Structure 1
Amino acid sequence: MYSTWNASGQIPESAVNEGITGFYGAIDTNEGGITLRTNINAQLLNTLPNHDLVKNQLFYSRYRFDLHTNFTFYLADTVNGDEIRQREARHLYSYNGSYLHHKAI
């Protein structure tokens, strides 16, 4: 799953009042981000000759996130802006196994 967005962020009220941008507009059009997630789930069921059941499940998830914000606008860097970039990447793994014994009656 892949997603991208543009953020309006915080805008000065004066920019809206002067018509520089709309209420949901943006001063810095670079604000926004992308996110990407991939999930894989595999399950294997085995029935043994005595009718017992063995279950194995593996799960993997890859997650990436890249966010650009500029909530201070041009406070520190009056030419290029004070854009902040937040990046994350995660890999998640899991295993679940079980053994079910059927008792003969």
Structure 2
Amino acid sequence: MAGMGRILSRAGVTATCVALLVLLSGCGDDDERGMGDAPVLNRRGDDTPAEVFNFPDHFGNLATKCVGHGLRGYTTTHFADDDGYIPSANTKIVPDPDCR
């Protein structure tokens, strides 16, 4: 009887490890620019350039463009710091009647 409990215990540990491995496999550390973009249907996104406002060093630049009917998107950018860390961009979508 003790042997059966040990087998079930090993099976439970194995199943837990496999489930954990599957869950963590989706957590990549790929910070290369552009790799975090959302998929676009048929690879046809709006590739028109954004208007960019440059700020002094150590401040994120600001980019803006129409991102849909009546909507404007704003985003900031940062470059890698001395440790190689690239902070995520701040993004905001606001109503804009000039966007058609």
Fold in common (TM above 0.5): no
TM-score (normalised: structure 1):
0.27
Q: Point out which structure has higher relative CO (alpha carbons under 8 A, 6+ apart).
A: 1
TM-score (normalised: structure 2):
0.28
Higher strand content, 1 or 2: 1
Higher helix content, 1 or 2: 2
Structure number, greater radius of gyration: 1
